[in-house]
Amino acid sequence: MAVFKVKIGKLEIIVDSLDDLDRLIERYGLVEGSEAAVSVPVHEVMQSKRPQKNSDLSLLQRFVENGIAGIPSGELFLTFGVKGKGITGALSDWAERVGLKGDIEKIFKRKIYRGKRVQCLTPQAIATGRHILESS
Protein backbone atom coordinates (compact mmCIF):
# COMPACT_ATOMS: atom_id res chain seq x y z
CA MET A 1 0.00 0.00 0.00
CA ALA A 2 1.39 3.42 -0.93
CA VAL A 3 1.47 6.18 1.64
CA PHE A 4 1.40 9.79 0.48
CA LYS A 5 2.54 13.01 2.10
CA VAL A 6 0.01 15.72 1.31
CA LYS A 7 0.60 19.42 1.75
CA ILE A 8 -2.43 21.68 2.00
CA GLY A 9 -1.24 25.22 2.53
CA LYS A 10 1.26 24.97 5.40
CA LEU A 11 -0.27 21.76 6.80
CA GLU A 12 1.30 18.39 5.97
CA ILE A 13 -0.81 15.24 6.29
CA ILE A 14 0.09 11.62 5.66
CA VAL A 15 -2.66 9.52 4.07
CA ASP A 16 -2.77 5.86 3.03
CA SER A 17 -4.47 6.50 -0.30
CA LEU A 18 -5.72 9.22 -2.56
CA ASP A 19 -9.26 8.15 -1.63
CA ASP A 20 -8.45 9.08 1.99
CA LEU A 21 -7.28 12.47 0.76
CA ASP A 22 -10.53 12.95 -1.18
CA ARG A 23 -12.55 12.13 1.95
CA LEU A 24 -10.52 14.63 4.02
CA ILE A 25 -11.04 17.39 1.48
CA GLU A 26 -14.72 16.51 1.15
CA ARG A 27 -15.20 16.64 4.92
CA TYR A 28 -13.06 19.67 5.82
CA GLY A 29 -12.60 21.49 2.52
CA LEU A 30 -9.56 23.51 1.56
CA VAL A 31 -8.41 26.69 3.21
CA GLU A 32 -9.38 29.56 0.93
CA GLY A 33 -6.52 30.53 -1.34
CA SER A 34 -4.48 27.39 -0.57
CA GLU A 35 -3.47 24.67 -2.96
CA ALA A 36 -3.23 20.96 -2.31
CA ALA A 37 -0.13 19.13 -3.49
CA VAL A 38 0.50 15.40 -3.27
CA SER A 39 4.06 14.17 -3.17
CA VAL A 40 5.46 10.80 -4.13
CA PRO A 41 4.83 7.97 -1.68
CA VAL A 42 6.47 8.68 1.68
CA HIS A 43 8.57 5.50 1.75
CA GLU A 44 10.25 6.57 -1.50
CA VAL A 45 11.02 10.00 -0.04
CA MET A 46 12.33 8.52 3.21
CA GLN A 47 14.60 6.06 1.42
CA SER A 48 16.08 8.77 -0.79
CA LYS A 49 17.03 11.04 2.10
CA ARG A 50 19.62 10.00 4.65
CA PRO A 51 18.82 11.63 8.02
CA GLN A 52 21.22 14.28 9.18
CA LYS A 53 23.35 13.80 12.28
CA ASN A 54 21.44 16.56 14.06
CA SER A 55 18.06 14.85 13.63
CA ASP A 56 19.61 11.51 14.62
CA LEU A 57 20.85 13.03 17.88
CA SER A 58 17.51 14.71 18.59
CA LEU A 59 15.79 11.32 18.20
CA LEU A 60 18.38 9.78 20.54
CA GLN A 61 17.66 12.52 23.05
CA ARG A 62 13.92 11.74 22.86
CA PHE A 63 14.58 8.03 23.43
CA VAL A 64 16.81 8.79 26.43
CA GLU A 65 14.41 11.34 27.94
CA ASN A 66 11.34 9.13 27.43
CA GLY A 67 12.99 6.14 29.11
CA ILE A 68 10.56 3.26 29.57
CA ALA A 69 7.75 5.26 27.93
CA GLY A 70 9.62 4.94 24.63
CA ILE A 71 8.39 6.40 21.37
CA PRO A 72 5.14 5.19 19.77
CA SER A 73 5.62 3.15 16.60
CA GLY A 74 3.32 5.55 14.75
CA GLU A 75 5.74 8.42 15.39
CA LEU A 76 8.65 6.27 14.25
CA PHE A 77 6.73 5.62 11.02
CA LEU A 78 6.67 9.37 10.43
CA THR A 79 10.42 9.51 11.10
CA PHE A 80 11.57 6.51 9.08
CA GLY A 81 8.69 5.91 6.67
CA VAL A 82 8.35 2.21 7.54
CA LYS A 83 5.78 0.22 9.52
CA GLY A 84 5.66 -3.07 11.37
CA LYS A 85 8.69 -5.27 10.94
CA GLY A 86 10.38 -2.58 8.87
CA ILE A 87 10.85 -0.47 12.00
CA THR A 88 13.40 -2.96 13.35
CA GLY A 89 15.67 -2.54 10.33
CA ALA A 90 15.29 1.25 10.35
CA LEU A 91 16.08 1.40 14.07
CA SER A 92 19.09 -0.86 13.58
CA ASP A 93 20.51 1.43 10.88
CA TRP A 94 19.77 4.52 12.98
CA ALA A 95 21.36 3.00 16.10
CA GLU A 96 24.55 2.30 14.17
CA ARG A 97 24.65 5.89 12.86
CA VAL A 98 24.37 7.39 16.36
CA GLY A 99 26.86 4.96 17.91
CA LEU A 100 24.65 2.41 19.68
CA LYS A 101 26.52 -0.74 18.76
CA GLY A 102 25.50 -4.35 19.25
CA ASP A 103 22.59 -6.71 18.81
CA ILE A 104 19.30 -4.90 18.13
CA GLU A 105 17.53 -6.92 20.86
CA LYS A 106 20.03 -5.57 23.41
CA ILE A 107 19.43 -1.98 22.29
CA PHE A 108 15.65 -1.81 21.82
CA LYS A 109 12.65 -3.29 23.52
CA ARG A 110 9.16 -3.42 22.00
CA LYS A 111 6.19 -3.17 24.34
CA ILE A 112 2.75 -1.76 24.94
CA TYR A 113 2.82 1.40 27.06
CA ARG A 114 -0.44 3.09 28.02
CA GLY A 115 -2.27 1.31 25.22
CA LYS A 116 0.22 2.20 22.48
CA ARG A 117 2.85 0.04 20.82
CA VAL A 118 6.20 1.66 21.57
CA GLN A 119 9.90 1.10 21.01
CA CYS A 120 12.19 2.02 23.89
CA LEU A 121 15.87 1.75 24.65
CA THR A 122 17.04 -0.88 27.13
CA PRO A 123 18.57 0.49 30.38
CA GLN A 124 22.08 -0.23 29.09
CA ALA A 125 21.37 1.55 25.80
CA ILE A 126 19.92 4.54 27.70
CA ALA A 127 23.22 4.85 29.62
CA THR A 128 25.20 4.60 26.38
CA GLY A 129 22.86 7.15 24.75
CA ARG A 130 23.42 9.62 27.58
CA HIS A 131 27.17 9.24 27.12
CA ILE A 132 26.86 9.83 23.36
CA LEU A 133 24.74 12.95 23.93
CA GLU A 134 27.17 14.35 26.51
CA SER A 135 30.15 13.85 24.20
CA SER A 136 28.52 15.39 21.13
- Same domain membership, residue 58 and residue 43: no
The lowest-confidence range among 31-35, 45-49, 131-135 is 45-49
Residue 28 pLDDT: 66
Residue 44 pLDDT: 41
Domain assignment of residue 27, given as a range: 4-47
pLDDT digits (tens, 9 = 90+) for 89-132: 999 999 999 999 888 999 999 999 989 999 999 999 999 999 99
- Same domain membership, residue 69 and residue 34: no
103 phi, psi to nearest 5 deg: -70, 135
pLDDT digits (tens, 9 = 90+) for 60-78: 999 999 998 999 998 998 8
Confidence check: pLDDT of 46 > 50? no
- Same domain membership, residue 62 and residue 110: yes
List the CATH number of the domain containing 127.
1.10.10
Question: pTM of the predicted model, to two decimals?
Answer: 0.61
Contacts of 59 (CB under 8 A, 6+ apart): 71, 79, 94, 98
Q: Cα–Cα distance between 121 and 70 in angstroms, integer?
A: 7
Beta strand 11-15 with 36-41: parallel, antiparallel or unpaired? unpaired
Do the beta carbons of residue 15 and residue 4 sit within 8 Å?
yes
By CB neighbour count within 10 A (0-12 exposed, 13-18 middle, 19+ buried), where does 77 fall? buried
Residue 20 pLDDT: 74
Percent of the chain with pLDDT over 70: 68
Confidence check: pLDDT of 7 > 70? no
Q: Cα–Cα distance between 41 and 115 in angstroms, integer?
A: 29
Percent of the chain with pLDDT over 90: 38
> Which one of 14, 30, 47 terminates a domain?
47
Q: Cα–Cα distance between 130 and 116 in angstroms, integer?
A: 25
